Amino acid sequence: MLRPGSKLLRRAFVGLSILALPLILGGCDKMVVMNPTGDIAVQQRNLILFSTGVMLLIIVPVMALTIWFAWKYRRSNPNKTYDPNFDHSTTLELIIWTCPLLIIIALSAVTWTSTHLLDPFRPLERIAPGKPVPTSTRPLEVQAIGLDWKWLFIYPDLGIATVNELALPVNQPVHFSITSTDQFNTFYAPTLAGMIYAMPTMKSELHAVLNKGGDSWGYSGNYTGAGYSDMRFKLRGMDKAGFDQWVAGVKAGGALDTASYLQLARPSEKVPVMRFSTVTPGLFDRIVNQCVEPGKPCMVDVMRDDMMRARMKPGKEPPLGAPKPAEPHHEGMNMSALPSIRMPGAPRAAQA
């Protein structure tokens, strides 16, 4: 029988630890979060490593001291010291409270700075460590839409679109505009940047850059039903020549007009890669405002009309030359400043 503290028990523990090590490290080649290819993801990876390392400054000594105390004060140790009157140690109190306090201060400082430096709405200041963004470089615009259950990517400046395929040129900043149609999704490409929510009737943003070529995957990190497991897209990093060649290949596809989009937006699973050579202008804005269907008023117009009705009494027009009513203040949102987005021929919501 193995007794606590016996040599055989210690040898068995060491042997099992060595045998388990390959199993623990066997999946490290697939830890994409720890092997990023974009500068934003690299900075986020470094933040994870720093935070983990700082916290281990407490965890490792505590675990080591737990084993040491158990060994030193075991029943079979004839040299153990038993002091039933011990109740206080100033040295121990300073160590116990000072070390965690310093770690909390360090983590708080790093969290504060990283929250601002890695703000997804903040334009990039560099494409890699020591490589600032050239002043003449214009970000590539990509509009990402989460559908049931696939991803639609529109390149408005190029006039093309793809489904479940996102190709990006390396070392060029990319500005994503992100939304969803019916459900809350999350746009997440682990090798590119962090996870950003894609929400119906709202637009999120993300600035990122790829620094290495090759293929990886992206997906939604928010469960959305039956087809969630296959809601993945291929992320492809290419050099400038390869990206231009890819764009030329996409331009050989079909057209993404209103009818084809409405067909695409229907729930479907395991959708293969699709490419569209042309895209109806303003499609992303109409998706955000939920007025893609012909004849349906846009949400922004409905909200503006509701606000205008709230400014005046029903059936009474303001007198000619009367001053304009003061704009109501809404924190972070002024509907009167939003542009009018309307399908061709779509009726404007009736005025009261």
Percent of the chain with pLDDT over 90: 61
Other CB atoms within 10 A of residue 205 CB: 14
In CATH, which of 3.30.70.270, 1.20.1070.10, 2.30.40.10, 2.60.40.420 is domain 137-288?
2.60.40.420
Using CA atoms, how far apart are residues 38 and 119, in angstroms rounded to an integer? 15
For residues 155 and 140, the answer to whether their CB atoms sit within 8 Å is yes
Using CA atoms, how far apart are residues 169 and 243, in angstroms rounded to an integer? 6
Alpha-carbon dihedral angle through residues 119, 123, 129, 133, given to the nearest 10 degrees = 180
Residue 209 CB-half CA count within 13 A = 24
Q: What is the token pair recorded at 121?
A: 């709405």
Q: What is the token pair recorded at 178?
A: 């992100």
- Per-residue pLDDT tens over the stretch 84-122: 888 888 998 998 899 889 999 999 999 999 999 999 999
For residues 137 and 101, the answer to whether their CB atoms sit within 8 Å is no
SS3 call for 126: strand
Name residue, tokens 């523990």.
13
Among 156-160, 197-201, 251-255, which is the least confidently predicted range? Answer: 251-255
Query: What average pLDDT is seen over the chain?
Result: 84
Q: Is the pLDDT of residue 8 over 90?
A: no
Using CA atoms, how far apart are residues 128 and 42, in angstroms rounded to an integer? 9
pTM, full prediction = 0.77
Domain boundaries, the chain: 30-74+92-118, 137-288, 294-312+333-352
**What letter represents residue 200's amino acid?**
P
Q: Which of 49, 72, 69 is nearest to 61 (CA)?
A: 69
- Per-residue pLDDT tens over the stretch 243-274: 999 999 999 888 999 999 999 999 999 999 99
Give 217: exposed, middle or buried? Use CB within 10 Å, 0-12, 13-18, 19+: middle
